[in-house]
């Protein structure tokens, strides 16, 4: 995991429904209640599909069934039973009403939540087992603290119609089982091999798909396939392939937006605002846009601003409280894009005489960043404090995550070009607050299904890692190190255990130069980047040290240091 990470992240959703087939049907009881037809197989629950609501008049519908010779046992066309014909030569008294007796029911209409079409065509019990694992465990983990229907609704709906989607979901479920520790080594290997086989079948099926999206349906399929392949590659620990697949989906959205564009995008603050404006003219699920916007943010932090992408002209500005967490995340996304557009991480830390990066530009950029971050905290504080009144909720934990990434960015970026590392001592309060918020998230992940073995979002791990090589207070460092070791994410875009070992080495090296309980500037190492060796057995660290030469302060680049992991 070579890389330069900027320690701030977040990714995220709303809901609109896709096309549904009428499958789940209400059964009418004498008490007038409306129930779904039992035996319906579906990938999502009725409560998760909040559109396509039908109002049915129970009394009129029941009479219709009787008049056409059917017993009313729900609305499912293939579940209706033919009513036995009445005997025209009945011996009953002619005074009796010979019509079919219809139970008296309430005439109050009831809501019917329409279920998707019949369940996905799984081949056998084994596939059904892995599909269930995805639906009941993985979907919730991937959703995290965001209210989204992408994993437990949109993706599962695609499985009803697309064989490649079913195979990808089954493969992810099998791979997830192989990463668990509750089963034997032999069983985990069996899960792993089945996952690879099924994933290979899905890739063969996807070869028939073209990147040219001629309809809304084509675009949805392309995005879902990109999302699921990104998920599989993340779970298997192949970061490069996962990033490539995520980038494919983002590029598809950008190309599609450019083709559908009817108005100039000059008035849009960023590319995603333009994508959303164009998408309002089509039936594109909002959650698909949300998840790829979050993936794009992760790519920005891992790979930097890519060539050909629109760069923000200035830092965003706001003079009112944020109305939602989504708005706060979008604001911070623009802040980070501006930072990475102005300079790369390495340029900020190690080079101070770059072309287009003179002293005046640096000072102006620092001033603008300070203004933007002050506006952010001023606008975010009301939402954050409001969430404190609802501990244990998704809003509470998501607010924690947003605060963590903003704190990490503040103490990592505010120093700007500086030879000294003493500046980091001024952010001790931020370090302590970040640790407290992070501990709440990690403790929650242990008690709920949000304990994902791996995840797209690397905000938490990267923020703790940044704290570890910036903070020089031993007690605070050790708390952060314990949290990083407890962090459940082990594969994919960020490896917490590898980061913990690198941080331990840095801490031991620096504390070896302690003078009277304080680490002097000359003993502090600045981590520029690290490169992992084969199979993550070693790591090559690139660091610099503060020195004075001929009476002038400067930083000396140290030879690369290889450590065993």
For 10-32, how does the pLDDT look when each residue is reduced to its tens digit (9 = 90+)? 333 333 333 333 333 334 344 44
Residues in the chain, pLDDT under 50:
1-114, 116, 344-357, 449-454
Class of residue 313 by CB neighbours under 10 A (exposed 0-12, middle 13-18, buried 19+): exposed
In this structure, are residues 291 and 298 in contact, taking their beta carbons and an 8 Å threshold?
A: no
- Torsion angle in degrees (nearest 10) through CA of 549, 542, 406, 359: 40
Nearest Cα to Cα of residue 401 among 177, 28, 156, 145: 145
pLDDT for the residue numbered 532: 85
Which tokens belong to 471? 């903070």
Q: How far apart are CA 99 and CA 101, in angstroms?
A: 6
Q: Which residues of 41-63 are buried (b: 16+ CB within 10 A; e: fewer)?
A: ebbbeeebbeeeeeebebbeebe
pLDDT for the residue numbered 203: 93
pLDDT for the residue numbered 433: 96
Nearest Cα to Cα of residue 466 among 480, 445, 478: 480
pLDDT for the residue numbered 472: 93
Class of residue 517 by CB neighbours under 10 A (exposed 0-12, middle 13-18, buried 19+): exposed
Q: Residue 121, Cβ neighbours under 10 Å: how many?
A: 11
How far is the first Cα of the chain from the last one, in angstroms, to the nearest whole number?
Answer: 13
Q: Structure pTM?
A: 0.71
Radius of gyration over every alpha carbon of the chain, rounded to an integer in angstroms: 29
């Amino acid at each position: 995991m070579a890389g330069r990470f900027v320690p701030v992240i977040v990714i995220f959703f709303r809901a609109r429904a896709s096309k549904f087939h009428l499958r789940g049907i209400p059964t009418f009881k004498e008490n007038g209640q409306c129930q779904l037809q039992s035996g319906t197989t579906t990938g999502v629950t009725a409560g998760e599909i909040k559109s396509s609501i039908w109002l049915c008049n129970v009394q009129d519908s029941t009479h219709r069934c009787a008049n056409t010779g059917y017993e009313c046992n729900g609305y499912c066309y293939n579940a209706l039973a033919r009513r036995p014909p009445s005997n025209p030569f009945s011996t009953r008294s002619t005074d009796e009403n010979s019509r079919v007796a219809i139970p008296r029911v309430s005439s109050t209409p009831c809501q019917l939540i329409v279920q998707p079409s019949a369940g996905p065509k799984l081949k056998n019990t084994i596939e059904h087992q892995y599909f269930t694992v995805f639906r009941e465990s993985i979907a919730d983990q991937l959703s995290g603290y965001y209210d989204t229907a992408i994993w437990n609704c949109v993706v599962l709906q695609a499985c009803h119609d697309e064989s490649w989607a079913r195979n990808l979901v089954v493969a992810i479920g099998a791979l997830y089982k192989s990463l668990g520790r509750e089963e034997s080594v032999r069983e985990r290997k069996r899960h792993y091999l089945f996952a690879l086989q099924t994933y290979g079948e899905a890739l063969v099926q996807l070869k028939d798909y073209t990147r040219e999206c001629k309809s809304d349906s084509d675009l949805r399929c392309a995005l879902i396939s990109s999302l699921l392949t990104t998920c599989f590659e993340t779970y298997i620990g192949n970061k490069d392939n996962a990033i490539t697949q995520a980038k494919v989906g983002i590029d598809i959205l950008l190309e599609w937006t450019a083709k559908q564009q009817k108005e100039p995008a000059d008035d849009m603050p960023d590319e995603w605002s333009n994508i959303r404006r164009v998408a309002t003219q089509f039936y594109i699920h909002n959650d698909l846009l949300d998840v790829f916007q979050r993936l794009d943010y992760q790519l920005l932090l891992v790979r930097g601003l890519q060539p050909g992408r629109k760069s923000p002209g200035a830092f965003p500005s706001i003079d009112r409280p944020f109305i939602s967490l989504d708005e706060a995340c979008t604001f911070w996304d623009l802040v980070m894009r501006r930072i990475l557009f102005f300079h790369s991480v390495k340029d900020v830390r190690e080079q101070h005489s770059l072309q287009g990066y003179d002293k005046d530009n640096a000072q102006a950029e620092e001033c603008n960043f300070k203004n933007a971050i002050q506006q952010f905290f001023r606008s975010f504080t009301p939402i954050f404090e409001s969430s404190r009144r609802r501990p244990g909720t998704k809003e509470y934990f998501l607010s924690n995550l947003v605060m963590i990434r903003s704190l990490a960015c503040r103490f990592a970026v505010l120093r700007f070009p500086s030879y000294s590392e003493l500046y980091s001592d001024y952010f001790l309060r931020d370090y302590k607050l970040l640790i407290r918020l992070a501990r709440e998230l990690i403790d929650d992940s242990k008690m709920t299904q949000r304990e994902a073995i791996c995840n797209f979002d690397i905000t938490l791990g990267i923020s703790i890692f940044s704290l570890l090589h910036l903070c020089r207070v031993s007690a605070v460092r050790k708390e952060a190190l314990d949290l990083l070791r407890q962090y459940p994410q082990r594969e994919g875009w960020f490896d917490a255990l590898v980061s913990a070992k690198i941080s331990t080495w840095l801490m031991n090296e620096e504390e070896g130069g302690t003078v009277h309980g304080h680490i002097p500037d000359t003993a502090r190492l600045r981590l520029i980047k690290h490169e992992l060796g084969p199979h993550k057995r070693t790591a090559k660290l690139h660091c610099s040290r503060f020195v004075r030469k001929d009476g002038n302060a400067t930083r000396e680049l140290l030879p690369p240091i290889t450590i065993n992991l």
